[in-house]
Amino acid sequence: MNVAHRAVRFAVLIFLRTVWRVKALTGVNLSGLGFALRRIRSDFEFIVGGRRFWFDHRIAAAYGLLPAGQWNEPETHVFLNRLFSASGQWAFIDVGASVGEMALDFAGHPSVSTVVAFEPDVAAVEAIRHAASLNGFGQLRVVEAAVSDRCGSTRFAHDAHSPTAGHVGAEADRAAESDCVRCVTLDSDLGGIVGPAVLLIDVEGHEVHVLRGATEFIGRVRPVIVFEFNDTSRRYFNLNDVRRVLGKDWHIYRLRMNGDGRLDEDFSQTWNCVAVPDGPMSEAIQPLIYRSDCV
């Protein structure tokens, strides 16, 4: 790396840390994160939470705060770390894995024995595989494919300015920039997975289609399901759509966004929601539910 590239990377990392500090202190998200990341023109290794990651400059904007040593969704990491630490050996399924923030973190958890990450973006897949090798995570399998309710091929729309917003579906067919990628269902790929398990889905509004293609897996394994439900998601589905796929013996919570890693039922402002089946999993998450009458 030449001196100019090194100086740019140093300046960008300072900006990322400033963005994180401002958000931590005020809750305000400063703009310009993606623009700053795209100034980096070289690849490099970095560490977050004790995990080694690989920065691929082709998809620089997908990394968010990670190169500054901070998780982009700290509340999700806190919640899942607590859940995985409860008991047993878990399987973790990450649909829409992007650069591997979740897959790489939990591949290193002592209570997680199997990790399967699905991601259609070639550069992101290469970054995860490289990082898995750096960490020695042989239990992490990366599937280069989109996930939906049918197998075959589909259009995957991508945006160089916002790689994490890549998506499949009707809008992808009309997108200016899209690729034809392999498409699978979870039922077609996860036949060997047994519970307990966590299924994490972050696919920019295509979450219900993923669930429809996973009915056998969901019925057999009864996983805890973490799914994105933000302003983008609400354009494509609502929580009743999720309930219709899962059935009546599931309960949906909001994952609180204040970083405490707990659940509640206030859906006025959401980022991720968590669907929990009745039975042992429902009992396991009870200590993680926020109750306003508790001190």
DSSP code string of the chain: --HHHHHHHHHHHHHHHHHHHHHHHH----S-HHHHHTT--S-EEEEETTEEEEE-GGGGGGGTTGGGT--SSHHHHHHHHHHHTTSS-EEEEEES-TTSHHHHHHHT-TTEEEEEEE---HHHHHHHHHHHHHHT-TTEEEE-SEE-SS-EEEEEE--TT-GGG-EESHHHHH-SSEEEEEEE-HHHH-TT--SSEEEEE-STT-HHHHHHTTHHHHHHH--EEEEE-SHHHHTT--HHHHHHHH-TTEEEEEE-TTSS--EES--SS-SEEEEEETTHHHHHHGGGB--TT--
Q: What gap in Å lies between CA 201 and CA 95, rounded to an integer?
A: 5
**pTM for this prediction:** 0.91
Instruction: Per residue of the chain (295 residues), give pLDDT as tens.
Output: 678 888 999 999 999 999 999 988 888 889 999 999 999 999 999 999 999 999 999 999 999 999 999 999 999 999 999 999 987 899 999 999 999 999 999 999 999 999 999 999 999 999 999 999 999 999 999 999 999 999 999 888 777 655 555 557 655 455 556 789 999 999 999 999 998 999 999 998 999 999 999 999 999 999 999 999 999 999 999 999 999 999 999 999 999 998 899 999 999 999 999 999 999 899 989 999 988 755 4
Going along the chain from its start, the domains and CATH numbers come out as: 3-68 (no CATH), 74-288 (3.40.50.150)
